[in-house]
Amino acid sequence: MSTAVIRKSIDVVNVQKVVDSETNLTIFEDSFQGLARFESEPQDHMRAAEQNERGCLDSRTKYEDSLQGCNMKTAVLVGLLCLMAVAYADDELKINKLQIGVKTRVKDCVQKSRKGDQLHMHYTGTLLDGTEFDSSRTRNQEFTFTLGQGMVIKGWDQGLLNMCVGERRILTIPPHLGYGERGAPPKIPANAVLKFDVELMKIDRDGEEL
């Protein structure tokens, strides 16, 4: 074999070694870059996780602030309701006598109601807070009873005396002259002060209409 051929073979081998070396270097660089990316990815994940955690904490803080605001509003509302209940109870305790107010007067009153008269009435009954519990006006039907015979509550027997036909009164009746400790469930609670808007429509006396 000639020297030229040997040299050529050596050159080919050397070139191949260089190519292989460059290939290995490229593979190594790619591997290194991949490793770098692998090492950087956890950091990116960590940053994302930290951002998510901060977002959650911010949301939780806003929720807690909102909850505290709601609790404060609820506390204020409950406090107001308690004050109203106390004031309402105080008003009821202060009313211990029958109160009679005249809403409509009659100029020419010939006969006034007395015990034993049969009265024809229209009325609307409410609690002290304005809650309506009964009304003959709603039914469009007069209520008839005999005055002073215990057919109605004491507040009526006392509050409808000396009343003229066409007259309209407001009766404020304390519990002991109304339904007392028993009340009249479900609409009238125990120890309730009652208000009646009453109107005398007609008087029957000894079979005669007055």
Active site amino acids = 123, 133-134, 153, 179, 196
- Burial class from Cβ neighbours inside 10 Å (0-12, 13-18, 19+) for residue 209 reads exposed
Residue with tokens 């000396």, as numbered in its chain: 162
Would you state the torsion angle of the CA atoms of residues 150, 151, 152, 153, taken in this order, to the nearest 10 degrees?
30
Q: How far apart are CA 174 and CA 191, in angstroms?
A: 8
How far lies 61's CA from each of 24, 56, 66, 71, in Å?
Answer: 55, 9, 9, 15
